[in-house]
């Protein structure tokens, strides 16, 4: 999917560039960042990053954005809508931010911006996210953005050889004020 440039007060959501690959790799090789990411391998290689950008981000049912600081122009992470289903008007939300940018509101703003894109430009009715049960920071971010806890998916994914529970959160269009484009 061709992604637009989405400008917020503190972050810009933009197309991921080849110049971002090294920062993607270094951030995803941080064990603290990677520990709650359900589908991202560890260690994470440049080959993994190239595959993500060239194959995953180019799927018709995906919209992948780099998260960049307005102030510094520094690439901080990735946010995406995946499994975009135009018939049922829904998509899954996924995101990560480098550890040195945590707890500064960047993730919250990035989520609100992508929700504006999802509910505005794409006309979706529902956006959902799955979060590992132990990832309390991500769950707080989703609640702050207006998501509702919908249930626990027991032993939903395999991470480091162990099945772990995932929490399911959902947000319907109109349930929360978002930045519309």
Residue 180: its pLDDT value, please? 44
Question: Which residue, chain included where needed, has tokens 């400008």?
Answer: 7
The reported pLDDT for the residue numbered 156 is 97
Quote the tokens at residue 60.
Answer: 């018709």
- What is the signed CA dihedral for 7, 10, 16, 22, rounded to 10 degrees? 160
Distances, alpha carbon 122 to alpha carbons 9, 49, 87, 176, in Å: 22, 26, 12, 17
Q: Is the peptide bond before 129 cis (omega within 30 degrees of 0)?
A: no
Question: What is the Cα–Cα distance from 91 to 146, expressed in whole angstroms?
Answer: 16
- The confidence score (pLDDT) of residue 141 equals 95
In this prediction, the residues of the chain whose per-residue pLDDT falls under 70 are 176-181
Q: Are 109 and 70 in contact (CB under 8 A)?
A: no
Look at residues 136, 137, 146 and name the one whose alpha carbon lies nearest to residue 171: 146
Q: What structural domains does the chain harbor?
A: 6-172 (3.40.630.30)
Q: SS3 for 126?
A: strand
Please enumerate in sequence order all residues whose Cβ is within 8 A of that of 97, keeping only pairs 6 or more positions apart, or say none. Answer: 33, 67, 76, 77, 106, 107, 110
Half-sphere CA count of 115, side-chain side, radius 13 A:
25
The CA distance from 11 to 26, in Å, is: 20
Q: Do β-strands 90-97 and 75-85 pair in parallel, antiparallel, or remain unpaired?
A: antiparallel
């Amino acid at each position: 999917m061709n992604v637009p440039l989405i400008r917020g007060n503190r972050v810009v959501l933009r197309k991921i560039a080849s110049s971002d690959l090294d920062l993607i790799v270094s951030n995803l090789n941080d064990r603290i960042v990677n520990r709650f990411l359900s589908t991202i391998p560890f260690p994470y290689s440049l080959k993994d990053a190239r595959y993500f950008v060239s194959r995953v981000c180019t799927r018709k049912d995906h919209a992948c954005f780099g998260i960049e600081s307005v102030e510094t122009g520094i690439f901080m992470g990735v946010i995406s809508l995946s499994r975009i289903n135009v018939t049922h008007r829904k998509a899954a939300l996924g995101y990560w931010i480098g550890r040195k940018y945590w707890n500064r509101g960047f993730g919250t703003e990035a989520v609100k911006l992508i929700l504006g894109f999802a509910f505005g430009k794409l006309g979706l009715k529902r956006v959902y996210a799955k979060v590992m049960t132990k990832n309390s920071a991500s769950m707080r971010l989703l609640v702050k953005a207006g998501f509702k806890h919908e249930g626990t998916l027991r032993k939903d994914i395999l991470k480091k050889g162990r099945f772990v529970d995932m929490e399911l959160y959902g947000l319907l269009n109109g349930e929360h004020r978002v930045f519309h484009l």
